[in-house]
Amino acid sequence: MTEVAAVDSSGFLLQVIAVLAGAVVAGGAFAQTAAPSANPNASTPAVSSPNANNPGAPAAGANSFTEAQAKSRIERAGYSNVSGLSKDKDGIWKGTASKGATSVVVALDYQGNVVSK
């Protein structure tokens, strides 16, 4: 059995259809909420600029560098004789290296920042 809706002279059915269509469109707009930031602490971005260290370095975080990659990254930062590298509980590679004639403690964080003490 097929039902046919009757439209009265005031266009009531058209008004109902317009209201329902508007509700569908508005509902879609409410469903689009902003996703949370992947890194809630913007002062420690996942990747640092290649020419500048994060002022808060070394930053703790999940470090995916292997020991060989950490050594290479430290050497590219101008250090030599890199040795004794180990990753601490904060994900920071630490070891010793030379810069010029000075032996220093170096650290590499998950962002690639190399710092010395």
pLDDT averaged per 10 residues in sequence order, the chain, 117 residues: 53 60 54 56 55 73 91 96 95 95 94 91
d(CA 93, CA 107): 5
Q: What is the pLDDT of residue 42?
A: 53
Q: What is the pLDDT of residue 73?
A: 95
Q: What is the pLDDT of residue 74?
A: 96
Q: What is the pLDDT of residue 94?
A: 96
Q: What is the pLDDT of residue 46?
A: 55
Q: What is the pLDDT of residue 55?
A: 75
pTM, two decimal places: 0.55
d(CA 68, CA 98): 17
Domains of the chain by residue range: 67-116
Q: What is the pLDDT of residue 63?
A: 84
Q: Is the dihedral of CA 41, 44, 48, 51 positive or negative?
A: positive
Q: What is the pLDDT of residue 96?
A: 97
